[in-house]
Amino acid sequence: MHTSLMEITARPATVFVKGSGAWLYDSDGKAYLDFIQGWAVNCLGHSPDPLVAAITEQAGKLINPSPAFYNQPMLDLAAALTAGAGLERIFFANSGAEANEGAIKLARKWGSLHRDGAYEIITMAQGFHGRTLATMAASGKDGWDQLFEPKVPGFPKVPFSDLAAVEAAINGNTAAVMLEPVQGEAGVIDGSDDYLLGLRALTEAHGILLIADEIQTGMGRTGKMFACAHTGITPDIMTLGKGLGGGVPLAALLAREDVCCFEHGDQGGTFNGNPLMTAAGLAVWKELSKPGFLEDVVTAGEHLTKGLETFSANHGFGAVRGRGLLRALDLKEAIAGDIAARAMEAGLLLNAPRPDSLRFMPALNVSHEEIGQMLGILDRVVD
Ligand SMILES: *Cc1c(COP(=O)(O)O)cnc(C)c1O
């Protein structure tokens, strides 16, 4: 299909026109069971009532007074998220990459003030932090090491889940360690609880910052509001995105009070913290905070995992990885892209983050019946 859009990815010719809950509909009226959900973004499914109501009401009231003025949804969401995360300060952004870019700036400024000009941020092989120049340099995605030279310097890489490698990489220039608690784009690779606890202790012992990129793992995705909560650690800086706005562009950078060294003019953005997006975020927060919501995510995640394990055993595939409703299935062969393409023909949307892995990131309120339907379609496709 020829369009005037820049070719940044291979898109199927389908045009989507409508979404409702777990389902997406194209311009021919064909229905798709959606286990991509805008890339783990629509945490309440497509066009959920509370989100539509919040956006509609706010749009009629106030859309953007300017980022230089307070607005009520911005204040309310800031209070809710900082209390929930156990971090005192928040800056709203429009994308995960922008939130991470802010985290990098904050860590560098902190290093310049409190650690003798230290600016290096140790990041992880295969990690993913976004597509700006600095966040691409912070990422360890295969094939990115030669792109858009020269790179933003200062991001030494270590293998994921290797505490000794982090310790060996720390030197006088180190300001922070940055990682995803579960590496999403790498194919849902879970850092163990011991690894996270070890990183928290190590960074504290060396007086450097721990930055948790919870853009994919945050907002209930792993069965806790934030993945760090599985171990009870609090990072010094945390970033959120994806599920935070339930589908609209909203991200956030959170930090401990004494780490917040931005001065006027250091950070900002025209659309940042606008009431239309923060009202959406507030609606999402309220739903995720309802009693039982996160427990249901855990149950649904277990149900999905059991189903996938049975499916895998029947077809001779490998293990299921991940936590909560962020899961991947190891296919042991490079057939994931092919399966995802055939699944789409059969009315099921799945993502293949690696040639040998399928990723499952349904809405957090996905029903057990919908999980069963997904497994049924997948079974037929693989047969
Ligand atoms: C998606 C993602 C990002 C980038 O977010 P954008 O909104 O696409 O800029 C950064 N970090 C992680 C862990 C992500 O999953």
Is 242 a known active-site residue?
A: yes
Among candidate residues 306, 348, 186, the one with its CA nearest the CA of residue 382: 348
Mean pLDDT of 238-262: 98
Per-residue pLDDT reduced to its tens digit, 93-143? 999 999 999 999 999 999 999 999 999 999 999 999 999 999 999 999 989
- Give the pLDDT score at 145: 86
Q: Read off the pLDDT band of 33 (50, 70, 90).
A: very high
| Residue to mutate, 36, 100, 222, 242, ligand 1, most ligand atoms under 8 Å from C-beta | 242
Among 35, 155, 160, 213, the active-site one is 213
The ligand 1 atom at the shortest distance from the C-alpha of residue 130 is 4
Any alpha helices (H) in the chain, and if so which ranges? Answer: 37-40, 49-61, 72-85, 96-114, 133-138, 163-169, 193-206, 275-288, 293-315, 336-345, 368-382
pTM greater than the 0.85 cutoff: yes
Q: What is the CATH number of domain 28-48+291-382?
A: 3.90.1150.10
- Range(s) for CATH 3.40.640.10 in the chain? 51-288
- Give the pLDDT score at 236: 98
Kindly state the helix (H) or strand (E) to which residue 20 belongs, with its residue range. Answer: strand 16-20
- Give the pLDDT score at 34: 98
- The three-state secondary structure class of 354 is strand
> Cα of 54 to ligand 1 centre, how many Å?
24
Among candidate residues 21, 16, 1, 40, the one with its CA nearest the CA of residue 344: 16
Among 35, 128, 160, 311, the active-site one is 128
CA distances from 137 to 122, 151, 244 (A): 11, 6, 24
The ligand 1 atom at the shortest distance from the C-alpha of residue 241 is 7
Mean pLDDT of 166-173: 98
Residue 2 has pLDDT above 90, yes or no: no
Q: Which residues contact 337 (CB under 8 A, 6 or more apart)?
A: 352, 355
- Range(s) for CATH 3.90.1150.10 in the chain? 28-48+291-382
Q: Which residues contact 145 (CB under 8 A, 6 or more apart)?
A: none
| CB-CB contact of 133 with 286 (8 Å) | no
Is 128 a known active-site residue?
A: yes
> Cα of 212 to ligand 1 centre, how many Å?
12
| Residue to mutate, 216, 272, 277, ligand 1, most ligand atoms under 8 Å from C-beta | 216
> Cα of 129 to ligand 1 centre, how many Å?
6
Q: Read off the pLDDT band of 354 (50, 70, 90).
A: very high
Per-residue pLDDT reduced to its tens digit, 269-307? 999 999 999 999 999 999 999 999 999 999 999 999 999
The ligand 1 atom at the shortest distance from the C-alpha of residue 217 is 13
CB distance 241 to ligand 1 below 6 Å: yes
Tokens of 101: 């870019």
CB distance 95 to ligand 1 below 6 Å: yes
CB distance 255 to ligand 1 below 6 Å: no
| CB-CB contact of 358 with 342 (8 Å) | no
Burial of 22 (C-beta count, 10 Å sphere; 0-12/13-18/19+): buried
How far is Cα 347 from Cα 329, in angstroms, rounded to an integer?
19
| CB-CB contact of 24 with 46 (8 Å) | yes
Rounded to 10 degrees, what is the CA torsion of 299, 301, 302, 303? 90
Residue 379 has pLDDT above 90, yes or no: yes
Q: Read off the pLDDT band of 193 (50, 70, 90).
A: very high
Class of domain 51-288: alpha beta
